[in-house]
Amino acid sequence: GNSVTQMEGPVTLSEEAFLTINCTYTATGYPSLFWYVQYPGEGLQLLLKATKADDKGSNKGFEATYRKETTSFHLEKGSVQVSDSAVYFCALSKGGGGNKLTFGTGTQLKVEL
Amino acid sequence: EAGVAQSPRYKIIEKRQSVAFWCNPISGHATLYWYQQILGQGPKLLIQFQNNGVVDDSQLPKDRFSAERLKGVDSTLKIQPAKLEDSAVYLCASSVGSAGGLDTQYFGPGTRLTVL
Protein backbone atom coordinates (compact mmCIF):
# COMPACT_ATOMS: atom_id res chain seq x y z
CA GLY A 1 0.00 0.00 0.00
CA ASN A 2 0.89 3.67 -0.01
CA SER A 3 3.11 5.06 2.73
CA VAL A 4 5.13 8.16 3.63
CA THR A 5 8.28 8.25 5.75
CA GLN A 6 9.54 11.46 7.34
CA MET A 7 12.61 12.24 9.37
CA GLU A 8 11.93 12.21 13.07
CA GLY A 9 11.92 15.35 15.14
CA PRO A 10 12.10 17.54 16.91
CA VAL A 11 14.36 19.57 14.70
CA THR A 12 15.78 22.59 16.52
CA LEU A 13 17.38 25.40 14.53
CA SER A 14 18.55 28.92 15.11
CA GLU A 15 16.80 31.73 13.28
CA GLU A 16 18.11 32.22 9.72
CA ALA A 17 19.45 28.66 9.54
CA PHE A 18 18.83 26.43 6.52
CA LEU A 19 16.08 23.85 6.87
CA THR A 20 15.72 20.42 5.31
CA ILE A 21 13.03 17.94 6.34
CA ASN A 22 13.34 14.65 4.50
CA CYS A 23 10.34 12.82 3.09
CA THR A 24 10.24 9.64 1.02
CA TYR A 25 7.22 7.76 -0.22
CA THR A 26 6.06 4.38 -1.45
CA ALA A 27 3.18 4.29 -3.89
CA THR A 28 2.02 2.62 -7.05
CA GLY A 29 1.64 4.81 -10.07
CA TYR A 30 2.13 8.56 -9.89
CA PRO A 31 0.86 10.14 -6.69
CA SER A 32 0.61 13.83 -5.96
CA LEU A 33 2.72 15.03 -3.06
CA PHE A 34 2.01 17.59 -0.37
CA TRP A 35 3.46 19.33 2.63
CA TYR A 36 1.00 20.38 5.33
CA VAL A 37 1.87 22.54 8.34
CA GLN A 38 0.20 22.60 11.75
CA TYR A 39 0.89 25.68 13.86
CA PRO A 40 0.27 25.39 17.61
CA GLY A 41 -3.43 25.33 18.38
CA GLU A 42 -4.45 25.44 14.73
CA GLY A 43 -5.64 23.01 12.07
CA LEU A 44 -3.58 21.54 9.27
CA GLN A 45 -2.87 23.95 6.41
CA LEU A 46 -1.63 23.11 2.96
CA LEU A 47 1.87 24.55 2.56
CA LEU A 48 2.75 23.39 -0.96
CA LYS A 49 2.15 20.60 -3.43
CA ALA A 50 3.50 18.99 -6.59
CA THR A 51 1.44 16.85 -8.91
CA LYS A 52 4.03 15.30 -11.24
CA ALA A 53 7.69 14.33 -11.39
CA ASP A 54 10.21 17.22 -11.37
CA ASP A 55 7.54 19.71 -10.32
CA LYS A 56 8.64 22.14 -7.63
CA GLY A 57 6.10 23.34 -5.11
CA SER A 58 6.81 26.58 -3.28
CA ASN A 59 5.14 28.86 -0.76
CA LYS A 60 6.24 31.29 1.97
CA GLY A 61 9.90 30.64 1.17
CA PHE A 62 9.53 26.86 1.44
CA GLU A 63 10.26 24.61 -1.53
CA ALA A 64 10.05 20.92 -2.34
CA THR A 65 10.82 19.08 -5.59
CA TYR A 66 9.05 15.89 -6.65
CA ARG A 67 11.88 13.39 -7.35
CA LYS A 68 10.46 10.23 -8.86
CA GLU A 69 13.85 8.53 -9.23
CA THR A 70 14.47 8.75 -5.47
CA THR A 71 10.77 8.75 -4.46
CA SER A 72 11.42 11.84 -2.37
CA PHE A 73 9.84 15.22 -1.66
CA HIS A 74 12.19 16.96 0.78
CA LEU A 75 11.10 20.28 2.27
CA GLU A 76 13.64 23.13 2.29
CA LYS A 77 13.82 26.73 3.37
CA GLY A 78 16.86 28.93 3.08
CA SER A 79 16.35 30.99 6.23
CA VAL A 80 13.91 29.96 8.93
CA GLN A 81 12.13 32.31 11.32
CA VAL A 82 10.76 31.77 14.80
CA SER A 83 7.27 31.96 13.28
CA ASP A 84 8.03 28.80 11.25
CA SER A 85 7.94 26.74 14.44
CA ALA A 86 5.27 24.11 13.79
CA VAL A 87 4.74 20.47 12.90
CA TYR A 88 5.24 19.63 9.23
CA PHE A 89 3.52 16.68 7.57
CA CYS A 90 4.41 15.13 4.24
CA ALA A 91 1.52 13.44 2.46
CA LEU A 92 0.56 11.80 -0.80
CA SER A 93 -2.64 11.33 -2.72
CA LYS A 94 -3.49 9.20 -5.69
CA GLY A 95 -6.16 11.71 -6.66
CA GLY A 96 -9.01 10.55 -8.81
CA GLY A 97 -12.38 9.96 -7.21
CA GLY A 98 -10.90 9.12 -3.82
CA ASN A 99 -8.49 11.98 -3.17
CA LYS A 100 -7.46 10.23 0.06
CA LEU A 101 -4.38 11.65 1.78
CA THR A 102 -1.78 9.34 3.30
CA PHE A 103 0.34 11.22 5.84
CA GLY A 104 3.75 10.77 7.37
CA THR A 105 4.16 10.94 11.12
CA GLY A 106 5.08 14.62 11.15
CA THR A 107 8.27 16.49 12.04
CA GLN A 108 8.26 19.12 14.74
CA LEU A 109 10.37 22.18 13.98
CA LYS A 110 11.51 24.54 16.71
CA VAL A 111 13.25 27.75 15.70
CA GLU A 112 15.07 29.71 18.40
CA LEU A 113 16.45 33.23 18.43
CA GLU B 1 -14.67 32.83 3.79
CA ALA B 2 -15.43 30.76 6.88
CA GLY B 3 -13.31 27.67 7.39
CA VAL B 4 -14.22 24.20 8.52
CA ALA B 5 -15.89 24.30 11.92
CA GLN B 6 -15.73 21.53 14.49
CA SER B 7 -17.16 21.06 17.94
CA PRO B 8 -16.48 20.39 20.66
CA ARG B 9 -12.78 21.28 20.73
CA TYR B 10 -12.09 19.02 23.68
CA LYS B 11 -13.88 16.04 25.20
CA ILE B 12 -13.02 13.77 28.12
CA ILE B 13 -15.05 10.60 28.67
CA GLU B 14 -14.80 7.31 30.48
CA LYS B 15 -14.24 4.12 28.51
CA ARG B 16 -17.42 2.44 27.31
CA GLN B 17 -19.21 5.79 27.13
CA SER B 18 -20.39 7.24 23.83
CA VAL B 19 -19.34 10.50 22.21
CA ALA B 20 -20.24 12.48 19.11
CA PHE B 21 -18.34 15.08 17.12
CA TRP B 22 -19.79 17.60 14.73
CA CYS B 23 -18.35 19.15 11.59
CA ASN B 24 -19.56 21.95 9.35
CA PRO B 25 -17.57 22.09 6.10
CA ILE B 26 -16.80 25.10 3.96
CA SER B 27 -19.93 26.21 2.14
CA GLY B 28 -20.29 24.55 -1.23
CA HIS B 29 -17.76 21.79 -0.57
CA ALA B 30 -19.13 18.47 -1.73
CA THR B 31 -16.50 16.23 -0.18
CA LEU B 32 -16.05 15.77 3.56
CA TYR B 33 -13.42 13.72 5.36
CA TRP B 34 -12.92 12.51 8.92
CA TYR B 35 -9.37 11.72 10.01
CA GLN B 36 -8.06 10.27 13.26
CA GLN B 37 -4.71 11.58 14.51
CA ILE B 38 -3.19 9.61 17.36
CA LEU B 39 -0.42 11.37 19.29
CA GLY B 40 2.89 11.04 17.46
CA GLN B 41 1.30 9.80 14.23
CA GLY B 42 0.02 11.36 11.07
CA PRO B 43 -3.71 11.68 10.41
CA LYS B 44 -5.44 8.54 9.15
CA LEU B 45 -8.57 8.70 7.02
CA LEU B 46 -11.60 7.16 8.71
CA ILE B 47 -14.34 8.01 6.23
CA GLN B 48 -14.92 10.15 3.15
CA PHE B 49 -18.27 11.46 1.94
CA GLN B 50 -19.16 12.81 -1.46
CA ASN B 51 -22.31 14.84 -0.82
CA ASN B 52 -24.23 12.45 1.44
CA GLY B 53 -22.79 9.22 0.03
CA VAL B 54 -19.84 7.28 1.44
CA VAL B 55 -16.81 7.08 -0.88
CA ASP B 56 -14.35 5.31 1.42
CA ASP B 57 -14.87 3.89 4.90
CA SER B 58 -12.35 1.07 4.66
CA GLN B 59 -10.48 2.15 7.80
CA LEU B 60 -13.51 2.96 9.94
CA PRO B 61 -13.92 0.52 12.86
CA LYS B 62 -17.56 -0.11 12.09
CA ASP B 63 -18.25 -2.07 15.25
CA ARG B 64 -17.96 1.12 17.29
CA PHE B 65 -17.64 4.09 14.93
CA SER B 66 -20.40 5.53 12.79
CA ALA B 67 -20.72 8.68 10.72
CA GLU B 68 -23.41 10.37 8.76
CA ARG B 69 -23.77 13.38 6.55
CA LEU B 70 -27.42 14.14 6.26
CA LYS B 71 -28.41 16.54 3.48
CA GLY B 72 -24.82 16.57 2.24
CA VAL B 73 -23.67 19.41 4.49
CA ASP B 74 -22.92 18.90 8.21
CA SER B 75 -21.55 15.63 9.47
CA THR B 76 -21.39 13.81 12.79
CA LEU B 77 -18.94 11.11 13.85
CA LYS B 78 -19.95 8.89 16.75
CA ILE B 79 -18.04 6.42 18.88
CA GLN B 80 -20.00 3.89 20.94
CA PRO B 81 -18.61 2.44 23.14
CA ALA B 82 -15.29 4.26 23.41
CA LYS B 83 -12.03 2.46 24.16
CA LEU B 84 -8.81 3.82 25.61
CA GLU B 85 -7.13 3.54 22.22
CA ASP B 86 -9.66 5.96 20.72
CA SER B 87 -7.88 8.84 22.48
CA ALA B 88 -6.83 11.04 19.58
CA VAL B 89 -7.57 14.24 17.71
CA TYR B 90 -10.42 13.86 15.25
CA LEU B 91 -10.00 16.10 12.24
CA CYS B 92 -12.65 17.07 9.75
CA ALA B 93 -11.69 18.33 6.31
CA SER B 94 -13.59 19.37 3.23
CA SER B 95 -12.84 19.94 -0.43
CA VAL B 96 -14.68 21.16 -3.50
CA GLY B 97 -15.17 17.63 -4.81
CA SER B 98 -14.14 17.92 -8.45
CA ALA B 99 -14.91 14.71 -10.30
CA GLY B 100 -11.62 12.88 -10.87
CA GLY B 101 -9.69 15.90 -9.76
CA LEU B 102 -7.11 16.54 -7.06
CA ASP B 103 -8.76 18.90 -4.62
CA THR B 104 -7.09 20.78 -1.83
CA GLN B 105 -8.41 19.60 1.51
CA TYR B 106 -9.13 22.27 4.12
CA PHE B 107 -8.92 21.12 7.72
CA GLY B 108 -10.80 22.17 10.80
CA PRO B 109 -9.09 22.71 14.19
CA GLY B 110 -9.96 19.21 15.38
CA THR B 111 -11.58 17.70 18.46
CA ARG B 112 -9.20 16.31 21.06
CA LEU B 113 -10.74 13.21 22.69
CA THR B 114 -9.37 11.73 25.89
CA VAL B 115 -10.76 8.37 27.01
CA LEU B 116 -10.05 7.53 30.65
Structure letter (DSSP) for residue B28: T
Kindly list the residues from chain A whose CB atom is less than 8 angstroms away from the CB atom of residue B31. 99
Kindly list the residues from chain B whose CB atom is less than 8 angstroms away from the CB atom of residue A100. 45, 48, 56
Q: Measuring CA to CA, how many Å separate B65 from each of A13, B15, B68, B73? A: 41, 14, 11, 19
Answer whether A101 sits within 8 Å of B103, measured CB to CB. Answer: no
Distance CA B30, CA B23 (A): 13
Whether the pLDDT of residue B103 is over 90: the answer is: no
Chain B closest-CA separation from residue A102 CA (Å): 7
Mean of the per-residue pLDDT values of chain A: 92
pLDDT digit string (tens) for B60-87? Answer: 999 999 999 988 899 999 999 999 999 9
Bridge partners, residue A101, by sequence: A93
